[in-house]
Amino acid sequence: MPELPEVETIARKLRPELVGQTIVSADLRWARTVAMPSARKFKEQVRGQTITDVSRRAKFLILKLQAAQKPEAYNLLIHLRMSGDLFLRAGKIKPEQHDRLILTLSGDSFSSLVFNDARKFGRVWLTDDLESVLGKLGPEPFGEEFTPRWLYENLRARRRLLKPLLLDQSFLAGLGNIYTDEALHRAKLHPLAASDSVKRKQAEVLHDAIRAVLQEGIRRNGASIDWVYRGGEYQNYFRVYDRENQPCPVCGRKIQKLIVGQRGTHICPHCQKLR
């Protein structure tokens, strides 16, 4: 599943291509792709909307829309989930097998924005109220609210295993399996540690580690390890993730793979001791 750096990379690539384009029509090829509103309302409401911005919140892509001479402004939110992907296609296109939504655009350089999703887990929302979809998300890792003090106090306020808590989008938005493993290794914290056992100094180091791995992921256009997401190179710089039995870059011991909260998890047993 694309995580914050991958979604941020997609948003940055789409922004210059989409801003100013008008959605001429919507071909919804699998109705359940749209979580809200109904399929009929979606096709009616999205038609004639101009894309004014492309941004990201957590793992959601957000296309801001505004129709000419209409006061209401909509937001088109897309969550790629396990296998979703977005393509810009030029000319008259023939829908492919896993195309779930095709938005015909007004531009000359390309004609369609296509949401392709083999496993059908991805979802799209069209709403004038962002909070109705995003309201339960935790703070952004690059936001002002996410400070070392906030992290320390909120880790201590919960008694949960550290990695599952960091993966909880209502706790902190945008982290997934890859960047959580990488951040915990940088911070020398075990994923099975109790969150309320983390000391203040450890929380400060973890805060910096989270931001560091996400910044590095964005700088390298994300990680291309899934069969869907392409174009990133951060996978060439992993410290522990997907490196079972390879040497730890810090101490040289072999990386181990654990299952934590039903997720494959990679650690250095020497650097990340469970105390």
Per-residue pLDDT of the chain (275 residues; tens, 9 = 90+): 789 999 999 999 999 999 999 999 999 999 999 999 999 999 999 999 999 999 999 999 999 999 987 778 999 999 999 888 899 998 888 999 999 999 999 976 668 999 999 999 999 999 999 999 999 999 999 999 999 999 999 999 999 999 999 999 999 999 999 999 999 999 999 999 999 999 999 999 999 999 999 999 999 999 987 655 677 899 999 999 999 999 999 999 999 999 999 999 999 999 999 98
**Cβ-Cβ contacts under 8 Å for 163 (sequence gap 6 or more):** 180, 181, 184, 191, 192, 260, 261, 263, 265
**Catalytic residue at 148?**
no
- The residue annotated as part of the active site, out of 5, 6, 56, 59, is 59
Catalytic residue among 3, 6, 8, 182: 3
Question: CA 16: distance to chain centroid?
Answer: 20
How far is Cα 210 from Cα 182, in angstroms, rounded to an integer?
Answer: 8
Which of 2, 141, 164, 191 is catalytic? The answer is: 2
Answer yes or no: are the C-beta atoms of 50 and 68 closer than 8 Å.
yes
Using DSSP, state whether 21 is helix, strand or coil.
Answer: coil
Catalogue all structural domains in the chain, each as residue range(s) with its CATH number.
Answer: 4-134 (3.20.190.10), 148-267 (1.10.8.50)
At 165, which helix (H) or strand (E)?
helix 162-167
Identify whether 249 is a catalytic site residue: no
Is 2 a known active-site residue?
yes
Q: Strand 123-127 and strand 34-36: pairing?
A: parallel
Q: Which of 140, 204, 263, 269 is catalytic?
A: 263
